[in-house]
Amino acid sequence: MNSNSKCAALFAGGVLFGSVGIKLLTSKDAKKAYTHIAAAGLRAKESVMSTVTTAQENVADIIAGAKDINAERAEAEAAEVENTAE
């Protein structure tokens, strides 16, 4: 077999494989599989977003608590300086 025949055979095989592949990818079963995969992705996204929301709420609580602690320390230090000045 010469190189032109090999190239033509490879090209024809590629076209055939591509055509069969497109038929498989656009079949009803494939679409059903894509739908299930997309649904699973949406469920995963919802789960992640729920976790992120919970984490954000916890961080907000921690920040608020830290600000309260710093405010109390600042007041205590100011009172200590005031007592020392007297």
Per-residue model confidence (pLDDT) at position 2: 66
Domain positions in the chain are 3-85
Block mean pLDDT (10 aa), the chain, length 86: 76 79 81 93 96 97 97 92 74
Going from the C-alpha of 44 to that of each of 49, 51, 55, 56, 67, the distances in angstroms are 9, 11, 17, 18, 35
The structure's pTM equals 0.53
